Chain A
Amino acid sequence: MRPLDLTEKDPSKRVTIYFEGQPLEAYEGEKVTVALLANGIYWLTTSTGGRRRGAFTFGPVPMVVNGVKNVNARKTAVKDGMRLERQGYDDFQENVEIDEGKPVLQYVVDVAVIGAGPAGLGVVKEIGGRLTTAIIEERGWLGGDLKLKGVEQEGFGDPKEALNELSDLPENTRVFLKSVAIGVFDKGEYFLVPIVRGDQLIEILAKRVVLATGAVDNIMLFENNDYPGIFRRSDALEVMNVWGVAPGRKVAVVGAFPEEITAELDRWGIEYVVVPNPKRVEGNEKVERLIDANGNVYDVDAVIMSDGRRPDINPVTQAGGRLYFKRGYYRPVIDSNHRIREGIYVAGSAVSIKPHYANYLEGRLVGAYILREFGFEAEPCVYEERLKNYEPIAVPVHRLPLDEFNGEDVHICGCDVTLRKVDDVVKSGITDLQIIKRLTHLAMGFCQGRFCLFNGAVVVSQRTGTPMDKLDIPVARPPIKNVKMKVPARRD
């Protein structure tokens, strides 16, 4: 077994890959980032500002693959003999192959559901084949975050069994896995939802759209919070429960919701320490120790941020939805039918933070609303009643010890936007988040703010005294997920 393998892998799938010339064991089907982690390699790429970066915190993971630069390692599967090298974020491939590309595919459906977590699947199950649906999922599996769980889930029980049940989809359902929706465009008669699967552009034409686009893990602010070896909760769960690889042999858990990860660490027998007040991470190429606000030093080889999740507001604002601030997060304004506007519904943790099962119920609820809109018999009130048992979870907005941090080492954003950069602009008297964004490039990089906008807002709010609900929050623009220019460049 490799240094961080938790499970025995199928020997028939064993291949050899080369990282910076060094041969390593990998298994067919593994993602590059996971195969390297299993071998104890955390530092994969380098930001424009010269910061070492891993694959599990934030920021893109461009690598040189078989001599080709700027390949997204997160979405690349290993192949026997594959040669991998580190690169800088701003390295790019100057000589490119020019091909015609693949013809654009088109599908017409009644309902397009973006996101195949419990909420998205709930929508499709409720519709039950009475309308034609397309369900679009960025990851390679159905079930979203539920797939990442190894321990019993409230309402669902055993997550594997629940997943099997949920993945049994009715007829008239088209499933698009490993596919990202780049936006929702209003065409009057219908909505156009362009999706990208690999290099393939697919246009979904739908009468109704459901955003079941989920939430994102909070990024915590402390010194060197961008070091290789720092994991978002969801990534730590994925490497363990999907790939059978440990984030580290001894890890620190930080954040307001440690229990969301500690039970899983226990299950795998991974040694951990819970540190409530992280101040700084240190190490050479990766995390070697964590220092807390009281000066305690913890020797660990990984840090997991388990600080709760907040709705991903980008799909909502791109589609024309408005936001309000409640329970510690920005969330979509919805009407009595769970719509952000005519024709566009929202369900699951894209609406509010709650258990998987509640998200599933909310998906069923939205499915029922849609059925009713199309003239079918449906009983949304059943789900409305049951959802009353689930008060959305409040997520604490931390009061940051801004003046105790060395702001240059605290990264708000994977694109080298430091706390110092934002703070300096605020201190110069510019207090409008919209202008601060443009002067610092906060929320203007690869994630369009998915991981950084909230923390930027917290800093501005804290420094200026403007309440979070009074900030002018920038909206997301298409493509809401990065797409290579050659994909939409195809001309028929």
Chain B
Amino acid sequence: MPTKELPERSEITIIGGGIVGVTIAHELAKRGEEVTVIEKRFIGSGSTFRCGTGIRQQFNDEANVQVMKRSVELWKRYSEEYDFPFEQTGYLFLLYDDEEVETFKRNIAIQNRFGVPTRLITPEEAKEIVPLLDISEVIAASWNPTDGKASPFKSTAKFAIKAEEFGAKLVEYTEVKDFIIENGEIKGLKTSRGVIKTGIVVNATNAWAKLINAMAGISVRIPIEPYKHQAVITQPIKKGTIRPMVISFKYGHAYLTQTSHGGVVGGVGYELGPTYDLNPTYEFLREVSYYFTKIIPALRELLILRTWAGYYAKTPDSNPAIGKIEELSDYYIAAGFSGHGFMMAPAVAEMVADLITKGRTDLPVEWYDPYRFERGELRGQALQMG
């Protein structure tokens, strides 16, 4: 799949070969642009292959609901066109008290306004969707059957293969070391395997975004810090046992579902950092086991196969920074996804490709304005779990 040679020049260069970088490359190449992705390890190795697989539209603000609605449309379209697993098996938020229910009623109203069919259901209805649930303390649930999940491995690999078919170049095991800038214009990038001449650069490095921004020498402050989040997977069990993503804020901000391979996967809100350390911890193993077995007691007897860690590249309001950085020609950023990069990627790719090729986009990209931190215009906290 990956083109091993570093091209001498490329109109557009994307730094970072995670799902965001790969889908941007795919979108640009599809539009006929000359584009190269430079990835320091292998495609997906940063955070994408470590993600929790979930894709949801149940957010608590208009922008994220709209962007995720578009993203789900794209997930559906591309999974059919390219044949990778994406299933609309829903997101089920378990609610345990009146305050939680009120908050979710407000969220549901926003979601409904944009055509996302979320509704409040009874604990009994929730148990029909996931019969193994312990609903003894649940008073209601927020349910959107059009949310879903996808295989990060198969989807990223497919987007990468298709991007290459459209002419994009994917260069792996190559690390960007510095920018070559003359009079405020990008001329090229220095990498561990030589120089690539380029005029347009997209920083899609998420957890490493601040390092790339520093190399670019931009002065605007875009606070993105890597936080360690961990996930667990159990032995595979009968497919279709836990179809939706199940969320419980009461039990550890936990999220869990079943992968297309059969294992139960998920995590809890146990966060460490900022740090680049990715060693899984014993404390996480204890926490996740405690909370998961509270939500679904049958998990007690399942074998844990492994745990792992990945990054939530977080901004202060848990919304990404997406847009053009004006002080350098031409530099774009799409990073700081705060745990939502995988699910948002197809829509982000469309927004960034629009910005590069048309200078504008119909999606509400201003919500993710990279300058908002400097201006002190933080957005409301994006709904986050895990």
Question: Which residues of A come within 8 Å of B, CB atoms?
Answer: 48, 60, 70, 89-96, 98, 182-183, 185-186, 192, 194, 320, 415, 428-432, 434-435, 438-439, 441, 444-446, 448, 472, 476-479, 482-491
Contacts and interface: CB of A to CB of B under 8 A. Distances in A.
Contacts of A477: 280, 306-308
Q: Is the interface of A mostly helix, strand, loop or mixed?
A: loop
Given A435-B44, A438-B49, A484 B157 contact: no
A448 B305 contact: yes
Nearest to A440: B153
Interface in B260-283: 261-262, 279-282
Contact of A482 (B237, B239, B289, B304): B304
Contact of A489 (B45, B172, B237, B289): B289
A439 B262 contact: no
Interface string B289-312: 110110001111111111110000
A96 B262 contact: no
B282 A93 contact: no
Given A70-B301, A430-B157, A446-B303, A441 B282 contact: no
Contacts of A483: 303-304
A186 B282 CA distance: 10
B126 to A, nearest CB: 17
A446 B289 contact: no
A477 B309 CA distance: 9
Contacts of A183: 280, 282
Interface string B18-54: 0000000000000000000000011111000100000
A428 B160 CA distance: 13
Interface residues of B, number: 44
B3 to A, nearest CB: 10
21 contacts: A48-B262, A91-B238, A92-B235, A92-B301, A95-B298, A96-B301, A428-B161, A435-B43, A438-B153, A439-B153, A448-B305, A477-B308, A479-B306, A482-B304, A482-B305, A485-B289, A485-B293, A486-B300, A486-B301, A487-B289, A488-B286
A151 B298 CA distance: 47
A415 B172 CA distance: 29
B223 interface: no
A485 B299 contact: yes
B383 interface: no
B45 A434 contact: yes
Interface in B224-262: 234-239, 261-262
Contact of A430 (B1, B281, B293): B1
A133 to B, nearest CB: 21
A96 B297 contact: yes
Contacts of A48: 236, 262
B117 interface: no
Contact of A445 (B285, B300, B305): B305
A483 B285 CA distance: 10
Contact of B42 (A90, A434, A487): A434
A488 B262 CA distance: 22
Contacts of A439: 153-154, 157
A472 B289 contact: no
A94 B308 CA distance: 26
Given A435-B43, A478-B307, A489 B300 contact: yes
Contacts of B157: 430, 435, 439
B282 A435 contact: no
B170 to A, nearest CB: 11
B301 A435 contact: no
A446 B235 contact: yes
Contact of A446 (B293, B300, B305): B305
Contact of A444 (B239, B304, B305): B305
B161 A429 contact: yes
B2 A320 contact: no
B132 interface: yes
Given A92-B298, A429-B161, A434-B42, A484 B236 contact: no
A181 B290 CA distance: 20
A185 B286 CA distance: 13
Nearest to A93: B301
A429 B43 CA distance: 14
B50 to A, nearest CB: 11
A445 B304 CA distance: 10
A143 to B, nearest CB: 28
Contacts of B262: 48, 90
A327 B44 CA distance: 32
A185 B281 contact: yes
Contact of A484 (B239, B285, B304): B304
Given A92-B301, A98-B297, A472-B42, A429 B1 contact: yes
Contacts of B304: 479, 482-485, 488
Contacts of A484: 300-304
Contacts of B292: 485, 489
B303 A482 contact: yes
Given A95-B298, A96-B298, A185 B42 contact: no
B39 to A, nearest CB: 11
Given A92-B302, A477-B306, A488-B285, A441 B297 contact: no
Given A48-B236, A185-B281, A434-B42, A491 B290 contact: yes
